[in-house]
Structure 1
């Protein structure tokens, strides 16, 4: 491909917008009452909190448009955006508003995010399809690296990276891609499982509000192998599936599994083994009853299934062990669960916990590419707004096509949001003129027509 002519460039079109996909997506936000919910629940005082029903949706819209900092909110003030949307706010105004949040106001935003997800699930067919049968709550955390000394709350966490810690809970089904049911920003030095029981309880309540009525399983990695996390799942009426830490008690239980109990499995698609740093296509699986948290009082002991997957080591350990060489020859991965599924199904289901890594990667490639403020509570509010933006974009993808229903955040922005359009008025009818032969025209039109014509389910 070569440039066909010698061009001159002029920024002079007052009717052109670069993010036409914002029109149907923000219409979707309006249909679930985003502004009204913010006005009802968020009570930031004084002039900083005035017009909160305008400022919060503006921040969400900016994130959907691709903003990952306060200054990027200028994306909402180009060309014909003033005709497509009303009541714009300058980036400095939006930044000042965020800095006015306290911890309580961030929790108020959590309430808004929960209700927005419930509204989206009620209005968008397929957002949580299959939730009446089976659903999963996946919880994990990540370090958002920061630089300099001006940001409150930064510290060195478990990864050795200086930053802030975001804890995410996602809800998904067998048919639907995950959406964010809860998110918290913590200090950088926070332990992974800090605050997990509260987030699990909140996420389960949000999933129920969003129409999830089937069997729910809370999945997490070994950092969450704690009594309080298991108890929170059970209080919420859910099952749990948590990677067990290889402590002496777990190792002892594994060593008691008879050799004939191990069932060979072959993966149709090889899976990546992080510890061995290689792809594996076969393994063996077995299970045994196990009682966890025995250092606590008797009433808090939890007896469930320990499902173990073992893979032969490429380089067996030398010297033997108390377990007769079993742990020298194999590497084991144990899952502590009360899932009613058959052993192999329960083990496979737990491996799907990795789906939450996709959400974390999408957030860090999008709104959470930066923590834009020096104020911790402002960054906390920004994090919750990122979750709202993510869920709105996911719902728009579900409306667009089956492909976009599971597409990554960047793909949704490129295909559905970042579409240029020229605004025109003909016979008192406002129109968007978009590029001819846009590759995803059908998907975009489906999304637009559904939001514009009020065909959303109620």
Structure 2
């Protein structure tokens, strides 16, 4: 998977070139496929837990993986799901979900900081027609526990879109003493709260096409934010009512052109409103910025789909679930590799090109294997930094 495998047949890469000289016991792809099909649901759960433990070990080996050097700063746990389209009638669990395509649903939680790229805390494979928020509370609890085990000691902000707007997600965040930031559904109570915001409460923010007026010390923008106190989930029992902040961002709607192609002047500005609930103590502007950063989880999903999750290779559901768990482990190893090689912002595809699929040569001398890197190779320093981190002594404990 690290080298780009997205199907069982691609695992034959392990038997190419000099891989046999470096690794003993390399099996054929069919053998590995049989191994995956031997998994049960319990085995997958064990593998998922092992992946969480591995992430904690990787963060200890490479301290900048999660904290980015700031162990007491804020960390973000983002939860989202995606549908991976599949083909063939033999795929167990495949169904038509919210994306209107036949596939399997993958739910995942990522951990990131303002200075560290996201890693995957936990992930699970589900039936294609499973609702997005199903099991969100358990997944979030596992992700927060994994983040703490991996060295995150500061405040955790959990984020999700409107599909997770409910007590399961928010209640789990509260039980684990974490902040939450969840996109609100436009229910009657939410729309009424938005309508109650006074005109003077709106504050212009930095947004595409915004201009900063130095004279007036403010942004001239088509986007503004405001907040209002709000009580969420009033339809549930009183103990589950959540008093929080409703932060709203409104963006001016584009005016349609006139029949002659000219732009009409607006008599009354119309807006699109985007609201989310949060219990954070961040300022209204920063809370909005942090919430919008939830979109980075989409990049993680894109990298997985560009790699091992380009296909779900087996017809057996547990085998595909094990494949997803292995893909998570591979992603976290790749992210650790990027940090250790001083390529913190490199994507997985870039890492494969620069560090993993290297045009090197292996020679034997004095009963030792020597790896000869290409002359004038631009990524030599990064590769050597990775080698020193991987083979050197672990970072000494400070306590």
TM-score, normalising length: structure 1: 0.79
Report whether the alignment pairs 1:431 with 2:370.
Answer: yes
Task: Check whether the contact 2:222–2:252 (CA below 8 A) recurs between aligned residues.
Answer: no
Give, in whole Å, the separation in 2 of the partners of 1:264 and 1:421.
54
Alignment of 1:13-412 (within 5 A): 63-129=1-67, 130-267=70-207, 282-315=222-255, 329-401=270-342, 404-412=343-351
Runs (4 or more) in structure 1 with deviation over 4 Å come to: 455-458
Residue deviations 1:403-429, cap 9 Å, x none?
x21211101111110102221112233
Which of 380, 384, 388 is residue 445 of structure 1 equivalent to? 384
Partner in structure 2 of residue 51 of structure 1: none
Residue deviations 1:209-267, cap 9 Å, x none?
10111000100000000111100111122110000011111001000001111111133
Task: Check whether the contact 2:204–2:221 (CA below 8 A) recurs between aligned residues.
Answer: no
TM-score, normalising length: structure 2: 0.91
Partner in structure 1 of residue 264 of structure 2: none
> How much has 1:440 moved relative to structure 2?
1.3
RMSD: 1.8
Give, in whole Å, the separation in 1 of the partners of 2:246 and 2:295.
19
Give, in whole Å, the separation in 1 of the partners of 2:85 and 2:136.
21
User: In terms of mean alpha carbon deviation, does 131-140 or 172-181 score higher?
Assistant: 131-140
Partner in structure 2 of residue 421 of structure 1: 360
Per the alignment, do residues 143 and 269 of structure 1 end up closer, same or farther by CA in structure 2, a change over 3 Å counting? farther
Give, in whole Å, the separation in 1 of the partners of 2:117 and 2:369.
34
What SS is found at the alignment partner of 1:65?
coil
Task: Check whether the contact 1:307–1:334 (CA below 8 A) recurs between aligned residues.
Answer: yes
Residue deviations 1:285-328, cap 9 Å, x none?
10001111111111111110000000111149xxxxxxxxxx98
Give, in whole Å, the separation in 2 of the partners of 1:90 and 1:109.
22
Per the alignment, do residues 131 and 184 of structure 1 end up closer, same or farther by CA in structure 2, a change over 3 Å counting? farther
Question: Gapped runs of 5+ residues in structure 1?
Answer: 1-62, 271-279, 317-326
Give, in whole Å, the separation in 1 of the partners of 2:303 and 2:309.
9
Question: Gapped runs of 5+ residues in structure 2?
Answer: 211-219, 257-267
Task: State the number of aligned residues.
Answer: 376
Per the alignment, do residues 457 and 152 of structure 1 end up closer, same or farther by CA in structure 2, a change over 3 Å counting? farther
What SS is found at the alignment partner of 2:277?
strand
Give, in whole Å, the separation in 2 of the partners of 1:445 and 1:145.
39
Residue deviations 1:423-450, cap 9 Å, x none?
1112233201222222212111211232
Residue deviations 1:158-206, cap 9 Å, x none?
0101100000100011111000001011100011111111100000000
* Structure ranking higher in helix proportion: 1
Give, in whole Å, the separation in 2 of the partners of 1:85 and 1:351.
44
Task: Check whether the contact 1:118–1:211 (CA below 8 A) recurs between aligned residues.
Answer: yes
